[in-house]
Amino acid sequence: MDFWILQAFYGISYGALLFLLASGLSLIFGVMRIVNLAHGSYFLLGAYVALTVIWVTDSWLLAIPAGALTIAIIGLAMERIFLRQLGFAPLRQVLLTVGFALLFQQGALDLWGGDNMFIPVPEYLNWSIQTGTLFFPVYRIFMIAVVAVVGVILWLVIEKTTLGAVIRATVDDAEMARGIGIDTSTISMGVFALGAFLAALGGVIGGGFTGVYPGLDFEVLPLAFAVVIIGGMGSLRGALIGSMIVGLMDNIGKGLFPELSYFTLYAPMVLILAVKPTGLFGRE
Partner 1 sequence: MALKDRKKILTVMIVMALVGLFTPFANDFIRLLITQTLVLGILALSVDLLLGFTGLASLGQAAYLGMGAYLTAILVDRFQFGLGCDLSLILLMGIAIGAAGAAFFGLFAIRATGVYFLIITLALGMVVWGLANRWNSLTGGDNGINVMMRPNCGVDFSNDINFFLLVYIFFCLSLTAMYVLVNSPFGRTLVGIRESETRMRMLGYNTWLHKYLAFVIAGGFGGLAGVFWTHLNGIVSPEDVLLPISVDALLMVVLGGAGTLVGGPIGAAVVVFIREYLSTLVEWWQYILGGVYVLTILFLPDGLMGLMALVKTWRTDRSEKEGAEASSGQVR
Q: Which is nearer to partner 1, 9 or 100 (CB)?
A: 100
Q: How far is the CB of 140 from partner 1 (least distance, A)?
A: 25
Looking at beta carbons only, is 25 or 196 nearer to partner 1? Answer: 25
Nearer to partner 1, 127 or 263 (CB): 263
In whole angstroms, give the CA distance from residue 266 to residue 246.
9
Q: Dmax over Cα atoms in the chain, in whole Å?
A: 61
The least CB distance from residue 99 to partner 1, in Å, is 4
For residues 80 and 144, which CB has a smaller minimum distance to partner 1 in the complex? 80
CB of 104 to partner 1, least distance (A): 8
Indicate the residue among 95 and 149 with the shorter CB distance to partner 1: 95
Least gap, CB of 18 to partner 1 (angstroms): 15
Rounded least distance, CB 85 to partner 1, Å: 7
Question: What is the 3 state secondary structure string of the chain?
Answer: CHHHHHHHHHHHHHHHHHHHHHHHHHHHHHHHCCCCCCHHHHHHHHHHHHHHHHHHHCCHHHHHHHHHHHHHHHHHHHHHHHHHHHCCCHHHHHHHHHHHHHHHHHHHHHHHCCCCECCCCCHHHCCEEEECCEEEEHHHHHHHHHHHHHHHHHHHHHHHCHHHHHHHHHHHCHHHHHHCCCCHHHHHHHHHHHHHHHHHHHHHHHCCCCCECCCHHHHHHHHHHHHHHHHCCCCHHHHHHHHHHHHHHHHHHHHHCHHHHHHHHHHHHHHHHHHCCCCCCCCC
Q: Amino acid letter at 69?
A: L
Cα–Cα distance, 229 to 238 (Å, whole number): 9
Cα–Cα dist 152/140, whole Å: 18
Closer to partner 1 by CB, 82 or 139: give it: 82
Nearer to partner 1 by C-beta: 87 or 181? 87
Q: How far is the CB of 81 from partner 1 (least distance, A)?
A: 10
Residues found near partner 1 in the complex (CB under 8 A):
29, 33-35, 37, 82, 85-86, 90-92, 94-96, 98-100, 102-103, 105-107, 109-110, 218, 221-222, 225-226, 229, 258-263, 265-267, 269-271, 273-274, 277-278
Cα distance between residue 256 and residue 241, in whole Å: 22
Closer residue to partner 1 (CB): 34 or 205: 34
Minimum CB–partner distance for residue 15 and partner 1 (Å): 18
Residue 270 Cβ vs partner 1, minimum distance, rounded to whole Å: 5
